[in-house]
Amino acid sequence: MTRAERLRLWLKETLGYEPCDLSLFDMALTHRSAGGANNERLEFLGDAVLNLISAQYLIERFPEADEGELTRRHVSLVRRETLTEVATSLGLGAHLNAAGDDSMRSNPGVLADLCEAVIAATRANRSAERPFPRCPSPHSVSKATH
């Protein structure tokens, strides 16, 4: 079974998800040490997506909470330890593509980053009815900011 086939099967069995673009998940699970396209940009996007989704959830779940309480709850949801727990429960480390030894597969920082990158890949794979733009290339961002 190829890596792509294993990844597709894992996504279906673990998340109940069939992606339109499997390459985004492959990238989400690729550490920069592997060389080439990696998960850093997806990790960045996933952090933002997670912040938005968790903030929206908390506002809806706790309608009487003030900003301070919402912030405390938010911090608990998005902290590294929570993301590491989620990544571990999903078995993300087993799908990590990285150079070097296997210790990265259980490294809390790497696992938290994988979790954020997979969140971004899931969001970027939204259906055609509600598309999400691809991560911009560094070149297009440079043009837009000058």
Catalytic positions: 47, 116
CB atoms under 10 Å from CB of 85, counted, come to 15
Distance separating alpha carbons of residues 79 and 112, to the nearest angstrom: 9
- Decide: 88 and 107 in contact? Cβ < 8 Å: no
CB atoms under 10 Å from CB of 138, counted, come to 9
- Eight-state DSSP code of residue 97: B
Distance separating alpha carbons of residues 82 and 51, to the nearest angstrom: 13
Distance separating alpha carbons of residues 120 and 43, to the nearest angstrom: 7
